[in-house]
Amino acid sequence: MSLDGYLLSIDQGTTSSRALILDIQGNIISQKNFEFKQYFPNDGWVEHDPIEILKTTQDAINFVIRETNISPKDINIAGITNQRETVVAWNKITGKPVYNAIVWQDRRTENFCETLREKNLTKLIQSKTGLIIDPYFSATKIKWIIENIEEAKKTIHENNLLVGTIDSWLVWNFTKGECHYTDVTNASRTMLYNINEDCWDDELLNIFNINKNILPDVKNCVDDFGTIDSSFFGEKISIGGVAGDQQAATIGQACFKEGMVKSTYGTGCFLLMNTGNKFIESESKLLSTKAYNIFDKRDFALEGSIFNAGTVVQWMRDEMNFINDASKVEELANNSTNEIQFIPAFTGLGAPYWNSDVRGQITGITRDTSKADIAMAALKSICYQTRDLIECLLKDTELKSNDFTIRVDGGMSKNNLMMQLLSDITQIRIERPLNQESTAMGAAYLAGMKSGVYKDVAEVEKLWKTDRKFEPTISLDEADQQYNRWLKTVKGLINNG
């Protein structure tokens, strides 16, 4: 394969499908996204139309090819990254989905999850998959489709049912049904995959009553995922890399060494730490997951999430009318003179609290509390929650905070004030890259490593460039005092809540 040409990155997200064309230095030449409809058929249910997912992805690819005037012949290779855990089940003869995609946010299988917890399966599932029992992951969603949808039952009976996460759905369609594949990172979010042994786990398949032959073959992140049929874009394009979105961002941020952390501050926040080739069973309710399998480098990660990050800024903009644009929050918060506490538990709290019942709170308000004070407390609350996750990482690993660097991306990471507060409160060095499209870059790098554009992760590492670094400007004592005030307030909320 030639070492020139362009890379196609396909980024199938929760609200939109994107495509990017990059040159081999990693510069973005063109990008386009198309949003698609969200379905909420019942309380706590979230679905997507798999055909619309495919169509919007195809449209985005067509757009960037047309806009750049690049011949599909000059596309060296394609990589895919995708919303994780979301499942599709389809008929392999007709290609038709038997039901809508059930999205990662969907809570319909909570009762079944509770029965699994009551059967004391928590430890077994964690030791094999690194996950906690929760509707979030794919297994209970697949089981729900198989048991509740007549078309699924009929199709299984005819031996024609296939299931998979969104990457599998795209690969199967783009290869015209030739390849039913997934990669280790997506597999590791299903709750059916043994991350120690790198295989579908028979005992888990039994527990969920799912037959292995409906599942995709699991490949490494840099691997042969088949070829996009020429009927789509006029020429064949090989697919050489796949990873779930947060893992792709970890790769895009070049977090290839143990102790390297990436934290994405978008609508929510997802923080992953590379733990090297060690699978660590978290004792702090973090998730353990595959970071990637790249050639013979097979690393794990610990993952924690903050449910509400950018939503706090949206709330101040849309509901409070404090600002008319998210970017103005920095200027506003800079005028703060009083410390108050803001716990943005709009939809509960994630790790380490895992409490979906508590709701938000602002405390310590006095006569002279200002919008600026609320804005400052809101930004700090994201930093305190990041420190909550860091404290878990310190407990679960032998690392000290000096061993860490946090590489940030996402819309909120543009906020210099917040990045400085983050460094102060966590007492960790923060690095912001020039290119913040970490997720899409990750998919492109994986594909590029397959075609030989990049020899290995060391070459990818060289492409990562710093925009700005933030170092702590307050003492550990001061940081601890502030953090302890946060902890006290959260404890109060949870106890009284």
Binding site for ligand ADP (CB under 6 A): 266-267, 310-311, 313-314, 326-327, 329-330, 410-412, 414-415
DSSP 90-149: EETTT--BSSPEEPTT--TTHHHHHHHHHTT-HHHHHHHHS--S-TTSHHHHHHHHHHH-
Judged by beta carbon, residue 263 or residue 341, the one nearer ligand ADP is 263
DSSP state of 201: -
Q: 210 or 249: whose CB is closer to ligand ADP?
A: 249
Q: Are 152 and 145 in contact (CB under 8 A)?
A: yes
Query: Chain-centre distance of CA 385, in angstroms?
Result: 17
Q: How far apart are the first and last CA of the chain?
A: 60
Nearer to ligand ADP (CB atom), residue 172 or residue 265: 265
Are β-strands 237-244 and 75-82 bridged in parallel, bridged antiparallel, or unpaired? parallel
Question: For ligand ADP, which is the closer residue by CB, 160 or 311?
Answer: 311
- Minimum distance from residue 314 beta carbon to ligand ADP (Å): 5
Say if CB 84 and CB 270 are below 8 A apart: no
Asked if 79 and 444 touch (Cβ cutoff 8 Å), the reply is yes
Which residue number, 11 or 299, has a Cβ lying nearer to ligand ADP?
11
Least distance from C-beta 435 to ligand ADP, angstroms? 14
What is the crossing angle of helices 50-68 and 166-174, to 10°? 60
CA distance 227 to 224: 8
CB contact set of 325 (below 8 Å; sequence gap of 6+): 317
- List, as one string, the DSSP characters of 287-301: EEEEEEEETTEEEEE
Strand 405-409 with 87-91, pairing: unpaired
Distance in Å, CB of 311 to ligand ADP, minimum: 6
CB of 253 to ligand ADP, least distance (A): 14
Task: Kindly tell me which of 56 and 451 has the beta carbon lying closer to ligand ADP.
Answer: 56
Minimum Å gap between C-beta 296 and ligand ADP is 32
Closest-CA residue to 162 (of 140, 141, 177): 177
Q: How far is the CB of 330 from ligand ADP (least distance, A)?
A: 6
Closest distance to ligand ADP from the beta carbon of 315 (Å): 9
Find the shortest distance in angstroms from Cβ 270 to ligand ADP: 9
- Residue pair 182/218 in contact by the 8 Å Cβ criterion: yes
Nearer to ligand ADP, 326 or 394 (CB): 326
CB of 326 to ligand ADP, least distance (A): 4
Q: Which of 95, 8, 103 is nearest to 54 (CA)?
A: 95
Q: Tell me whether residue 11 or residue 47 sits nearer to ligand ADP (CB atom).
A: 11
The answer to whether the peptide bond before residue 352 is cis (omega within 30 degrees of 0) is yes
* 63 vs 315 by CB, closer to ligand ADP: 315
Alpha-carbon gap, residue 21 to 70, rounded angstroms: 9
Shortest distance (Å) from residue 167 CB to ligand ADP: 18
Q: Are 44 and 108 in contact (CB under 8 A)?
A: yes
The smaller minimum CB distance to ligand ADP, of residues 78 and 329, is found at 329
